[in-house]
Structure 1
């Protein structure tokens, strides 16, 4: 008898595409990016940036459209704050007051149509 994968397993393997992430990220951040990649394209398309500041690493996920917050996550995928977005565009006002300069690197951008 031939070994055949069940249809449900095959559908999962085919439907879950992997995004092209430009650098190593924690597993939980990769899972968040994969979810974005397998959902409908946002308007504007989603981007994820790595922020390095004051010896810490964070990940900024851009917002989907109008007046929504762009959330910043730590390496354990805990929300730190929303540095941008919202009605004023200035975020939620809860971000730490960093001493150093934020070094921003693009990790992933959704280039689908």
Structure 2
């Protein structure tokens, strides 16, 4: 009895699945060879638009050049005299703990970023080092910085 019930259940499942496949669904796989006879031929058209995945910043980046302190101009000239860094060095101005500060990103590999006060003295190193968390002197910088303005980015 159990065997016949199992057979009937299995037969019903097979019939149901074959009926479902007969509902007019067709699958077409292209079998025509490429026009040139080779998949490496010239069948692919040339792009019709500019590359939209260029990750480099636009050359016409607007920098905030108002009231750059002299020490900051000197710092920028120092960067321009050195080899280009990867990633590109940039300097941004923020308000942090009620004062104007300047954040200077640095190039690659475990180097500390710099956070300067308005007089050019280093307050702390918010990022970088072996842990990537900086020197620990301003762990709340990312949460409490406001008013971001890009002051300079290496144009090279």
TM-score when scaled to structure 2? 0.53
Q: Greater Rg, structure 1 or structure 2?
A: 2
Q: CA deviation at 1:101?
A: 3.3
Aligned Cα root-mean-square deviation (Å)? 2.1
Q: Report whether the alignment pairs 1:105 with 2:149.
A: yes
- List per-residue Cα deviations over 1:52-104 (Å, max 9, x = no partner): 12320111111120011001111111110000111111110012757x83122
Q: CA deviation at 1:21?
A: 5.2
Which residue of the partner structure matches residue 77 of structure 1? 120
Instruction: Choose between structure 1 and 2 for higher RCO, CA contacts under 8 A separated by at least 6 residues.
Output: 1
Q: Report whether the alignment pairs 1:32 with 2:75.
A: yes
Asked if 2 retains the 8 angstrom alpha-carbon contact of 1:73 and 1:79, the reply is yes
How many angstroms apart in 1 are the aligned matches of 2:73 and 2:95?
A: 17
More helix by share: 2
More strand by share: 1
- List per-residue Cα deviations over 1:19-59 (Å, max 9, x = no partner): x9532211101110111122211111110011112320111
Structure 1: tracts of 5 or more residues without a match: 1-19
Structure 2: tracts of 5 or more residues without a match: 1-61
Aligned CA distance change for structure 1 residues 111 and 40 (closer, same or farther; 3 Å): same
Q: Higher mean Cα deviation, 30-39 or 78-87? A: 30-39
* Corresponding residue SS for 2:125: strand
Asked if 2 retains the 8 angstrom alpha-carbon contact of 1:62 and 1:70, the reply is yes
